[in-house]
Amino acid sequence: MGLSVTERGFLDKMIDKEIAQIPSHVRRCRDPQTKAKFQLKEPDDFVFGIAFGSIMSDFTTYHSMIYNRSLTQEEMEEAVSVINKRMVEIRNAIFNCG
């Protein structure tokens, strides 16, 4: 069945929201105390994981609340595909933080 136009739009809004939050994630993860506490060798990769995980978590929660069921495998794959198409934007937001 796949995602509806409304669901895809909501997913894009979630991605936009997460991209806007990346500078604060980067500041926290690059902080020497945070790096030491979490033993981060590559804070920017950690931020990317935070962003991806947050988007997927928010979307699966939204979907579950609206449809009272989990995403199907096809819906999950489509959601990941939408995120993958915007990975460059997410990475650029991280790298643009300096």
Using left for φ > 0, alpha for ψ between -120 and 50, and beta otherwise, residue 71 falls in: beta
- Domain enclosing residue 13, as ranges: 5-95
pTM score, whole prediction: 0.89
Residues (pLDDT < 50) of the chain are none
What does pLDDT average to over the chain?
Answer: 95
Number of domains in the chain: 1
Under a CB-based contact definition with an 8 Å cutoff, are residues 91 and 47 in contact? no
pLDDT attached to residue 92: 96
For residue 56, the SS3 value is helix
